[in-house]
């Protein structure tokens, strides 16, 4: 069977064709690219297994102890741990977008804390470290669904708690660009607080423009101008700094 192999300082790659099929170049590209995320996830998992074997000894050994203080429990500093499990993270990476990466977790034998000893080594963003775009997307989701649902439907699945904090931290940001908006629509929605009683009002101001015709139907393009905690009249002050020709709201401004 035909084989292709490439050597790199990081790894050797070998591919063996399994069939006598004559695939097109396009098919080869599509199949290879679709297999790569799974290959990366498996490689990262096996790497962590190797590191753990080197740092902690083979599985099942009693008295496992991390040799390096840098891998010690972040809570109590103990180096005695047990292997626990893998937790899948979904970082966004170049080329592929979101991929699934299993991250090794261990349990501290002194205090019971569960942590990821190779968090730093793997260099994945810390949990809850989401870009502003992701948090805005999450807050928009919170305006139409529960925090839990919004968490699932947001890129990178920030937790419901993270989205709730993002809503709490929301403050109108100054935007010095000289942009002229023709038509801006205000939508105010009451969002329940998470795990507490009470409501928070969120107002989203978006610019609406005519979009391309799709199958003979006109569409609208929306772009966020401002998103803030407060009712429509509270947003007014913020919008005054912007150049807006027409503002559509429900009359409470």
When the beta carbons of 72 and 160 are compared against Zn ion, the nearer one is 72
Map tokens 């807006």 to a residue: 244
Tell me the site size for Zn ion, rule CB under 5 A: 8
Report in angstroms how near the CB of residue 129 gets to Zn ion at its nearest: 23
Question: Using CA atoms, how far apart are residues 226 and 2, in angstroms rounded to an integer?
Answer: 57
- For residue 73, state whether it binds Zn ion (rule: CB under 5 A): yes
Question: Using CA atoms, how far apart are residues 148 and 163, in angstroms rounded to an integer?
Answer: 9
Instruction: Give Cβ neighbours of residue 34 (< 8 Å, ≥ 6 apart).
Output: none
Report in angstroms how near the CB of residue 74 gets to Zn ion at its nearest: 8
Task: Tell me how far apart the terminal alpha carbons of the chain are, to the nearest angstrom.
Answer: 72
When the beta carbons of 52 and 108 are compared against Zn ion, the nearer one is 108
Binding flags for Zn ion, 79-118, as an x/- string (CB under 5 A): -----------------------------x-xx-x-----
- For residue 75, state whether it binds Zn ion (rule: CB under 5 A): yes
Report in angstroms how near the CB of residue 69 gets to Zn ion at its nearest: 13
Near Zn ion in 167-186, by CB under 5 A: none
Instruction: Give Cβ neighbours of residue 47 (< 8 Å, ≥ 6 apart).
Output: none
CB-based contact 71:55 (threshold 8 Å):
yes
Beta bridge partners of 86: 104
The burial of 84, by beta-carbon neighbours within 10 Å (0-12 exposed, 13-18 middle, 19 or more buried), is given as middle
When the beta carbons of 55 and 137 are compared against Zn ion, the nearer one is 55
- For residue 223, state whether it binds Zn ion (rule: CB under 5 A): no
Eight-state DSSP code of residue 69: G
When the beta carbons of 74 and 168 are compared against Zn ion, the nearer one is 74
When the beta carbons of 106 and 166 are compared against Zn ion, the nearer one is 106
Report in angstroms how near the CB of residue 111 gets to Zn ion at its nearest: 3
Report in angstroms how near the CB of residue 76 gets to Zn ion at its nearest: 3
Structure tokens at 104: 């090794």
Near Zn ion in 111-150, by CB under 5 A: 111, 113
CB-based contact 74:110 (threshold 8 Å):
no
Q: List residues near Zn ion by CB under 5 A.
A: 73, 75-76, 78, 108, 110-111, 113
């Amino acid at each position: 069977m035909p084989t292709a192999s490439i050597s790199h300082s990081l790894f050797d790659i070998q591919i063996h064709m399994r069939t006598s099929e004559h695939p097109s170049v396009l098919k080869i590209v599509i199949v290879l690219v679709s297999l790569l995320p799974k290959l990366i996830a498996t490689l990262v998992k096996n790497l962590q297994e190797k590191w753990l074997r080197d740092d902690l000894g083979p599985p099942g050994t009693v008295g496992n102890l991390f040799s390096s203080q840098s891998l010690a429990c972040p809570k109590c500093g103990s180096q005695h741990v047990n292997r626990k499990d893998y937790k899948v993270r979904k970082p966004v990476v170049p080329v592929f977008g979101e991929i699934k990466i299993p991250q090794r977790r261990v349990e501290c034998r002194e205090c019971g804390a569960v942590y990821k000893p190779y968090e730093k080594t793997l260099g994945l963003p810390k949990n809850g470290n989401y870009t502003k775009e992701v948090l805005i997307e999450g807050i928009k989701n919170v305006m139409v669904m529960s925090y839990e649902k919004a968490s699932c439907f947001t890129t990178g699945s920030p937790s419901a708690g993270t989205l709730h904090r993002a809503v709490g931290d929301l403050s109108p940001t100054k935007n010095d660009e000289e942009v002229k908006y023709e038509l801006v629509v205000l939508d105010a929605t009451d969002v329940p607080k998470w795990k507490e009683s009470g409501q928070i009002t969120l107002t989203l101001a978006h610019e609406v423009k005519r979009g391309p015709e799709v199958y003979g139907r006109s569409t609208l393009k929306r772009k966020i101008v401002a998103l803030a905690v407060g009712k429509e009249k509270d947003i007014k002050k913020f919008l005054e700094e912007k150049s807006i020709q027409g503002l559509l709201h429900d009359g409470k401004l």
